Amino acid sequence: MTINKKVLKIYKVLFDKKAQDIKIFNVKSNSDIWDYFIIATALSEPHLRSLYSYVTEEMEKQDYKIFYKDTGEFKNWVVIDFGEILVHLFDKDTRLFYSIEKLWGEKEEKIKNFITKSKGVKNVSKNKVKK
């Protein structure tokens, strides 16, 4: 699976589970570890747990290695490290407080770019994508 397809798969999983304000940041030129950050907001603590579980389960089904995943209390912010992709899942207040996307704002990639770059990717409905 190419990195763009992996990013799209993670995006789709988050989108399907009603994550809010999903953003993708290309950090290749600023990070020696990751190529992309994906940031999303959960509506509540149970929703945060659900997003975390669903993303990790779906990506493991695809045999995608998870290098690190939070095993803590899941109160405000969890991180899943997929090697070249780092996923941040926040509750709304924590995301506003830390505003980590301000560090990467100019590096934001629109999901349409990934659909264009990854022609033939299944399971991503163009009519659902609003960005």
pLDDT confidence bin for 110, thresholds 50/70/90 = low
Burial of 89 (0-12, 13-18, 19+ CB in 10 A): buried
**Percentage with pLDDT > 90 across the chain:** 48
Reported as a single tens digit per residue, the pLDDT across 5-26 is 899 999 999 999 999 999 998 8
Phi, psi (rounded to 5 degrees) for 83: 85, -95
Q: State the residue for tokens 């990506």.
A: 59
Q: Region 45-71: what's the mean pLDDT?
A: 89
CA distances from 18 to 13, 32, 50, 51 (A): 9, 31, 10, 9
Which of 13-22, 43-52, 104-113 has the lowest average pLDDT? 104-113
Both tokens of 110, joined, read: 């629109």
Measured distance CA(94)–CA(110) in Å, rounded: 23
pLDDT confidence bin for 89, thresholds 50/70/90 = very high
Reported as a single tens digit per residue, the pLDDT across 77-88 is 999 999 999 999
Burial of 100 (0-12, 13-18, 19+ CB in 10 A): middle
Residues in a beta bridge with 89:
40, 78
* pLDDT, position 75: 79
List the CATH code of the domain at 3-112.
3.30.460.10
* pLDDT, position 126: 42
User: Whole-model pTM?
Assistant: 0.80
